[in-house]
């Protein structure tokens, strides 16, 4: 299995995301890989690591997520691979719950999201986003 980290979805992935925008809730599993040093597109000098730059983005996203009725259900550093094989591990895993895909799309289009997006791009070497459908009352 080949794994390719990306920062933006391709056209097919975006089309799938836009299908059935009111279906929900959805849980977005984020597998995050950070740059060693943050690199801003505008060329600004920074002493931030990629993880620190992404942290600025994550703080802002948490507020926006709550504004659209969502929440971060888990966030943590990857400590080791317990099963399987992969060339390189991700640095962090975060799981966000959105009431619907439409709520996530609404959040992505907020002006505040555009204001913090530079930190995401500066910090991420790439990521995988895995959408999961779920019942928040399910405990098994």
* Percent of the chain scoring above 90 in pLDDT: 72
The pLDDT of residue 33: 96
The pLDDT of residue 20: 72
Over the stretch 23-50, which tens digit does the pLDDT of each residue have? 779 999 999 999 999 999 999 999 999 9
Does the 11-133 domain belong in CATH 3.30.70.100? Answer: yes
* Percent of the chain scoring above 70 in pLDDT: 92
Six-digit token string for 49: 């690591």
The pLDDT of residue 120: 96
Over the stretch 55-78, which tens digit does the pLDDT of each residue have? 999 999 999 999 999 999 999 999
pTM assigned to the model: 0.85
Over the stretch 100-121, which tens digit does the pLDDT of each residue have? 989 999 999 999 999 999 999 9
The pLDDT of residue 5: 67
Q: What is the dihedral of CA 24, 76, 55, 119, to 10 degrees?
A: -60
Six-digit token string for 23: 């279906």
The pLDDT of residue 139: 59
CB 50 within 8 A of CB 37: yes
The pLDDT of residue 1: 53
């Amino acid at each position: 299995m080949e794994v390719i980290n990306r920062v933006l979805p391709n056209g097919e992935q975006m089309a799938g995301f836009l299908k059935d925008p009111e279906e929900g809730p959805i849980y977005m599993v984020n597998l995050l890989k950070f740059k060693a040093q943050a690199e801003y597109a505008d060329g600004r000098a920074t002493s931030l690591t990629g993880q620190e730059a992404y942290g600025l983005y994550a703080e802002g996203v948490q507020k926006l997520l709550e504004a659209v009725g969502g929440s971060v259900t888990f966030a943590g550093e990857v400590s080791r691979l317990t099963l399987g094989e992969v060339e390189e591990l991700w640095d962090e895993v975060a799981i966000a719950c959105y009431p619907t895909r439409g709520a996530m799309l609404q959040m992505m289009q907020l002006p505040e999201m555009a204001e913090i997006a530079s930190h995401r791009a500066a910090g991420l070497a790439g990521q995988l986003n895995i959408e999961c459908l779920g019942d928040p009352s399910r405990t098994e």
